[in-house]
Amino acid sequence: MKKIIFTLALWIGLTTSAYAAEMIMFSMKSCGYCRAFLKEVAPTYAESKYAKLLPLRIISMDTPAVPKWFEEAYDDRRIDGIVGTPTFVIFENRTEVARLIGYTSKEKFYRDIGDFVENNKKRLESTVGQNAIPYEPENELDPKAALNREEGSHSQSVPPVQQERDTNPHTGKLEKFPNGVYKSRDIMDHQYETEAEAQIAANWLGCLSTHSHMIDGKKIWMPCSMEGK
């Protein structure tokens, strides 16, 4: 199997398959970028022109156990681990074939999804409705109601799988490890001035290499990049 992973906002066309694809979002309550997606995109995604060909499923990471289908796929090396949220995985033929890590805006998200669907439209149209992952209510969130569930209901005594980010209670700023890496599992928090710092963060997050962006005329480095398998 050949799989290519694009982080941030780069997608790859799917390999030939007889089964449908689904877009699975992995979310956490403490993730601000997740809440932005749940507010701006999730409630109306089903009404978009892409939903039929690439339906959205939302999986909460704030539960004691991962979904059984994910555990089986991970053990069989059909899906990679989730190291930051939000993570969007294209899951086809019971296998991960592409992923997007992070969320910046509704416009950019739909632009990326649009490119992906257009590049694979004929095959996606031929496999609509097949091979849905099992529904597990303890893990899955309804797209239209996900934001309310993620923001409220402290009566749900479900422990998170891990602390998403560690901030200084006095300054509100992200804490750092002695090696300079931010204490956060949200990849969008990891913005550094040098490639060396970003590589250290990549090692901690468990991903490969680094990438860079120009923001307001300044080059910043972030962990994780394309990986071919």
Looking at the structure, tell me whether residues 104 and 141 fall in a common domain. yes
Looking at residue 8, what is its pLDDT?
38
My answer on whether 19 and 116 are in the same domain is yes
> In this structure, is residue 161 part of a structural domain?
no
Place of tokens 């569930």: 149
Please check whether residue 187 is in contact with residue 180, taking contact to mean a CB–CB distance below 8 angstroms: no
Chain segment 62-119, per-residue pLDDT in tens: 877 788 899 899 999 999 888 778 889 988 878 888 888 889 899 999 998 888 888 8
DSSP-H helix ranges across the chain:
32-40, 42-45, 68-75, 106-119, 121-126, 146-151, 195-205
The answer to whether residues 41 and 129 belong to one domain is yes
- 158 within domain boundaries: no
Assign 143 a pLDDT band (cuts: 50, 70, 90).
confident
| Residues 121 and 39 occupy one common structural domain | yes
Q: What is the pLDDT of residues 164-208, one digit of tens each?
A: 667 766 677 888 887 788 888 787 888 999 988 888 887 777 677
Q: Which amino acid is at 106?
A: K
Q: Does residue 90 share a domain with residue 178?
A: no
More confident residue, 62 or 161: 62
Instruction: Report yes or no: 212 and 222 within 8 Å, Cβ to Cβ.
Output: yes
Tokens of 89: 């995985």
Find the farthest-apart pair of alpha carbons in the chain and give their distance in angstroms, rounded: 56
- Is the same domain home to 175 and 130? no
Q: Among residues 84, 116, 145, which one ends one of the domains?
A: 145
Domain of 105?
A: 4-145
Q: What is the pLDDT of residue 42?
A: 94
pLDDT of the residue at 50: 92
CATH code of the domain covering residue 103: 3.40.30.10
Indicate the pairing of strand 4-5 with strand 227-228. Answer: antiparallel
Average of per-residue pLDDT values in the chain: 77
Number of structural domains (the chain) is: 2
| 72 and 35 share one domain | yes
**Domain-ending residue, one of 115, 145, 175:** 145
Partners of residue 23 on adjacent β-strands: 56, 90
> Omega of the bond prior to 137 within 30 degrees of 0, cis?
no
The average pLDDT across 115-143 equals 81
As beta bridge partners, residue 92 has 21, 95
Based on the fold, state whether residues 139 and 170 are members of the same structural domain.
no
Query: Of 114, 145, 176, which residue sits at a domain end?
Result: 145
Both 179 and 103 in a single domain?
no
Residues 20 and 132 placed together within one structural domain of the fold: yes
Mean pLDDT score, 157-165? 42
Residues 171 and 141 in one domain: no
pTM of the entire predicted model: 0.60
**Do 106 and 189 fall within a single domain?**
no
For residues 129 and 100, which has the higher predicted lDDT (pLDDT)? 100
Label residue 208 exposed, middle or buried (CB < 10 Å: 0-12, 13-18, 19+): middle
> Do residues 121 and 39 touch, judged by C-beta distance below 8 A?
no
pLDDT of 227 strictly over 60:
no
